[in-house]
Amino acid sequence: TVGAVALDSAGNLAAATSTGGMTNKQVGRVGDSPLPGAGCYASERVAISCTGTGEVFMRTLAAYDIAAMMEYGGLSLQQASDKLIHEKIPALGGSGGLIAIDTDGNLALPFNSEGMYRGYAVAGELPVVAIYREE
Amino acid sequence: MARATIAIHGGAGAIARASMDADKELLYRQALLQIVASAQALLAAGSSALDVVTEAVRQLEACPLFNAGVGAVFTHEGTHELDASVMDGRTREAGAVAGVRRVRHPVLAARSVLENSPHVLFIGQGAESFAEKQGLEMVSNDFFSTPERRTQLEHALNTQQTLLDHDGGLPPDRKFG
Number of alpha helices (DSSP H) and beta strands (DSSP E) in chain A:
4, 9
DSSP label at A108? E
CA distance B133 to chain A (A): 20
End-to-end CA distance of chain A: 21
Average predicted confidence (pLDDT) for chain A: 97
pLDDT band of residue A80 (cuts 50, 70, 90) is very high
The residue of chain A with its CA nearest to that of B86 is A16
3-state secondary structure chain B: CCCCEEEEEEEEECCCHHHCCHHHHHHHHHHHHHHHHHHHHHHHCCCCHHHHHHHHHHHHHHCCCCCCCCCCCCECCCCCCEEEEEEECCCCEEEEEEEECCECCHHHHHHHHHHHCCCCEEEHHHHHHHHHHCCCCECCHHHHCCHHHHHHHHHHHHCCCCEECCCCCECCECCCC
CA distance A29 to chain B (A): 8
Task: Tell me what pLDDT residue B176 has.
Answer: 38
Inspect the interface and report whether the beta carbons of B56 and A6 lie closer than 8 Å: yes
Nearest to B15 by CA among A126, A129, A6, A108: A129
Q: Which are the catalytic amino acids of A? A: 1
3-class DSSP assignment, residue A30: coil
Task: Tell me what pLDDT residue B16 has.
Answer: 75
Which DSSP string do the residues of A88-105 spell out, in sequence order?
IHHHTT--EEEEEEETT-
Inspect the interface and report whether the beta carbons of A19 and B165 lie closer than 8 Å: yes
Inspect the interface and report whether the beta carbons of B43 and A6 lie closer than 8 Å: yes
* pLDDT: which is higher, A107 or B168: A107
Task: Tell me what pLDDT residue A20 has.
Answer: 98
Inspect the interface and report whether the beta carbons of A34 and B84 lie closer than 8 Å: yes
Q: Would you mind telling me the total number of residues written for chain A in this entry?
A: 135
B69 to A80, B79, B84: CA distances (angstroms): 30, 12, 10
Residues of chain B with pLDDT under 70: 163-177
CA B2 to chain centroid? 28
Q: A132 pLDDT exceeds 50?
A: yes
Of A20, A97, A99, the CB nearest to B82: A20
Count A/B contacts: CB-CB distance under 8 Å: 359
Chain A CB contacts of B114 below 8 Å:
none
B154 Cβ contact partners less than 8 Å away, ≥ 6 residues apart: none
Inspect the interface and report whether the beta carbons of B5 and A115 lie closer than 8 Å: no
Task: Tell me what pLDDT residue B172 has.
Answer: 38
Task: Tell me what pLDDT residue B167 has.
Answer: 54
Give the torsion through C-alpha atoms of B90, B91, B92, B96, to 10 deg.
-110
Task: Tell me what pLDDT residue B51 has.
Answer: 98
Task: Tell me what pLDDT residue B170 has.
Answer: 45
Inspect the interface and report whether the beta carbons of B12 and A26 lie closer than 8 Å: no
Task: Tell me what pLDDT residue A59 has.
Answer: 98
Chain B CB contacts of A117 below 8 Å:
9-12, 15, 28, 32, 66, 176
Q: What is the pLDDT of residues B21-70, one digit of tens each?
A: 899 999 999 999 999 999 999 999 999 999 999 999 999 999 999 999 99
Of the residues B15, B32, B87, the best mutation for testing chain A's interface (the one with the most A CB atoms within 10 Å of its CB) is B87
pLDDT band of residue A99 (cuts 50, 70, 90) is very high
Sign of CA dihedral B163, B167, B173, B176: positive
Interface predicted TM-score (ipTM) of this complex, two decimals: 0.98
For residues A77 and B123, give the distance between their C-alpha atoms in angstroms, rounded to a whole number.
Answer: 32
